[in-house]
């Protein structure tokens, strides 16, 4: 496979109470085209910061991120980003929210409606097109946000703990929905989570980050596809993967705790 995202020697610091906090230090990572890569780790290990740099929303202090060999200097139309929080426009219906990225690109109204309807159906929101965000449940909001991200057919998806605020049943439903949609489009995915089960269920590869974005583990996930988010957890291979990655996650948490004590 060819490399779609190449992260080279990325460093990033922030100032807190007049002190420099190093969030990422000389991070290197490659994401292959069409792969589903999950970044896992505790809060404070730099997952979201790294994703924002890859999205072109945050400049690194040093180092470069390349997209298909070209340095990233800002957001790219080929890359979709689904954040932790819902960012639907409250004054727009589901249909109009999903249409918005197409409207920005100057797509004709009839084509916008056709494509929005297609993706609203794909995420299971058919019949709810005319509702406003305040009329939707948490799971429906996530589905609408997912449809809005996918409607432009992005080559690459960046997802920052998109299901973290949902209850366990809804999370499983949307994990299955995402797996189904990904199997159709085969976009490249960089997905951030702190949930190891979610990481193994979804990923071709799980990368566990420690302090400064240091890679503690980089584990291929050789579980068969297509996967069912509920039943895959009962395979013996899943248990073995979870044990190895759990040990790496515990090491990562200890690193982060030591850093917090020093601060």
Residue range 69-122, pLDDT digits in tens: 999 999 998 999 998 888 899 999 999 999 999 999 999 999 999 999 999 998
Return the CATH number at 46.
3.40.50.300
Would 255 be classed as within a structural domain?
yes
pLDDT at 7 over 70: yes
Residue range 173-195, pLDDT digits in tens: 889 989 988 888 889 999 999 89
Residues 95 and 240: their CA atoms lie apart, in Å, by 43
CA nearest neighbour of 33 among 75, 73, 82, 66: 66
The total of structural domains in the chain comes to: 1
Would 90 be classed as within a structural domain?
no
Would 58 be classed as within a structural domain?
yes
- What average pLDDT does range 20-33 have in this prediction? 92
pLDDT at 27 over 80: yes
Would 141 be classed as within a structural domain?
no
Residues 121 and 6: their CA atoms lie apart, in Å, by 34
Give the phi and the psi of residue 178 in degrees, each rounded to 5.
-65, -45
Residues 20 and 38: their CA atoms lie apart, in Å, by 28
Residue with tokens 């400049």: 59
Residues 233 and 51: their CA atoms lie apart, in Å, by 27
**Over the chain, what HEC string results?**
CCEEEEEEEEEEEEEECCEEEEEEEEEEEEEECCCEEEEECCCCCCHHHHHHHHCCCCCCCEEEEEECCEECCCCCCCEEEECCCCCCCCCCCHHHHHHHHHHHCCCCHHHHHHHHHHHHHHCCCCCCCCCCHHHCCHHHHHHHHHHHHHCCCCCEEEEECCCCCCCHHHHHHHHHHHHHHHHHHCCEEEEEECCHHHHHHHCCEEEEECHHHCEEEEEECCCCCCCCCCHHHHCHHHHHHHHHHHHHHHHHHHHHHHHHHHC
Would 232 be classed as within a structural domain?
yes
Would 153 be classed as within a structural domain?
no
Q: What is the pTM of this model?
A: 0.92
CB 153 within 8 A of CB 121: no
Residue range 189-217, pLDDT digits in tens: 999 998 999 999 999 999 999 888 889 99
Q: State the helix-helix crossing angle for 109-122 and 138-150, rounded to 10 degrees.
A: 130
Domain range for 36: 3-78+199-262
Would 18 be classed as within a structural domain?
yes
pLDDT at 255 over 80: no
CA nearest neighbour of 214 among 39, 3, 31: 39
Look over the chain and give the mean of its residue pLDDT values, rounded to a whole number.
91
CB 5 within 8 A of CB 156: yes
Would 234 be classed as within a structural domain?
yes
């Amino acid at each position: 496979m060819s490399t779609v995202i190449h992260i080279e020697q990325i460093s990033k610091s922030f100032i807190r109470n007049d002190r420099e906090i190093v969030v990422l230090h000389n991070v290197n990572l490659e994401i292959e085209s069409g792969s589903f890569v999950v970044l896992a780790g505790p809060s404070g290990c730099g997952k979201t910061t790294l994703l924002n740099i890859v999205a072109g929303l945050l400049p690194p202090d040093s180092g470069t991120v390349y997209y298909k060999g070209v340095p990233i200097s800002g957001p790219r139309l080929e890359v979709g980003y689904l954040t932790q929080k819902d960012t639907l426009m409250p004054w727009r219906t589901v249909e109009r929210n999903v249409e918005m990225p197409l409207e920005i690109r100057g797509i004709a109204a009839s084509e916008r409606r056709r494509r929005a309807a297609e993706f609203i159906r794909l995420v299971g929101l058919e019949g709810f097109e005319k509702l406003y965000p305040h009329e939707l449940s948490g799971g429906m909001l996530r589905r609408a946000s997912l449809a809005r991200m996918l409607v432009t057919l992005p080559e690459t998806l960046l997802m920052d703990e998109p299901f973290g605020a949902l209850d366990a049943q809804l999370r499983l439903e949307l994990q299955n929905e995402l797996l189904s949609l990904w199997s159709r489009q085969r976009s490249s995915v960089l997905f951030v989570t702190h949930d190891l089960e979610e990481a193994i269920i979804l990923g071709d590869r799980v990368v566990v980050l420690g302090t400064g974005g240091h890679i503690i583990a980089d584990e291929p996930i050789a579980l068969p596809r297509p996967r069912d988010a509920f039943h895959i957890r009962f395979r013996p291979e899943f248990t073995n993967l979870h044990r190895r990655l759990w040990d790496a996650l515990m090491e990562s948490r200890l690193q982060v705790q030591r850093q917090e004590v020093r601060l």
